[in-house]
Amino acid sequence: MRIERLALPVALVTIFASCSAPRKLRESQVRNAQLDSLYRNASGQLRKCEEDAARNAASYKDKVESLQEQQTQLKSNNSQMLDHLKELSVISSSQAESIKKSLDNIGAKDAYIKDLQSAIARKDSLNMQLVMNLKGAIGNMDDKDINIKVDKGVVYIDISDKLLFKSGSYDINERAKEVLGKVAKVLINQPDIEFMVEGHTDNVPYRPNVLLDNWDLSVKRATSVVRILQNQYNIPPARMTAAGRSEYLPVASNDTPEGRAANRRTRIVILPQLDQFFKLLEKPAN
């Protein structure tokens, strides 16, 4: 009796196992078919990419060979043309040689233009790096109060007068020293850079007392900034120029309070150094 009781569970287990084995096999077969399909698709895409790459490489090679043939043909045509002109006595031998040199120099001039373009690109890259350093040093200050930009290859730093001076005054306030200190930190680390500090005003007439007019006020403000940079932040004075532009280079209309506020500013202009630019022509691009 005990043997019969044990035999029944064993039989049930055997039946269930025999039922589940085909199901797992079918699931494995379906999964294997899916993986095989994915593999075939991936292999097909890989072959297509390889074929496209081979076609592109062949096309580029054909274009290069065609250009080289055109260049060779052009040189041959130039030589034939000069020989023909000499035979017709249209030009002398010395004139023909001069023309030949001019034609040969075309390639050199093209190379010089490419070098010049490369130097300009490197100079623009250096300017952008300077702008990023300045913005990083100044931090999250309102763009209405301080604006750093590159225009036509020149870096400009515009600082609103409310950050630097009281109305109608050329005395630097305490907050201005903090702002100028951040700018000076970047400029002092660029010893080859020279710059100009420009004072700008709006067109509201200045009431004469110690100063005569807006010309006087703009110059005084520029020299105040220069003295701070020299005396407190040790920027060599030979690197700086102080200038006053009065009301005559506005960035906005003076017809509104907002426009006049934008025009009252101190501008630091990073002066382009032509000798440094031409040095870039001598240095190979990295």
| 106 Cβ contact list (under 8 Å, min separation 6) | none
Q: What size, in residues, is the chain?
A: 286
The domain boundary residue, chosen from 71, 90, 109: 90
Separation CA 223–CA 220 (nearest Å): 5
Asked if residue 199 is part of any domain, the answer here is yes
pTM exceeds cut of 0.75: no
Whether 10 and 144 share a structural domain: no
Do 84 and 129 belong to one domain?
no
Let me know whether 140 and 83 are in one domain. no
Q: Helix or strand or coil: residue 151?
A: strand
Q: In this structure, are 61 and 170 located in the same domain?
A: no
Within-domain flag for 132: yes
| Residue range of the domain that includes 194 | 125-280
Is 97 a member of any domain?
A: no
**Judgement on whether residues 273 and 143 belong to the same structural domain of the protein:** yes
Residue 159 host element (H or E): strand 154-160
Name the DSSP letter for residue 238: G
Tens-digit pLDDT string for the chain (286 aa)? 445 555 555 555 555 555 566 777 777 777 777 777 777 776 776 677 667 656 666 666 676 677 677 777 777 776 666 665 555 445 566 666 776 676 666 666 676 677 667 767 777 777 788 888 888 888 766 567 888 888 888 899 999 998 999 878 899 988 888 889 999 999 998 888 899 999 999 998 877 677 889 999 999 999 999 999 999 999 999 999 999 999 999 999 999 999 999 999 999 998 876 555 555 556 554 4
Closest CA to 245 of 272, 267, 260, 230: 267
Domain contains 1: yes
Residue at 109 is within a domain: no
Residue 73 lies in a domain: yes
Tokens of 130: 């300077």
Residue 257 resides in a domain: yes
Residue 138 is part of a domain; what is its CATH number?
3.30.1330.60
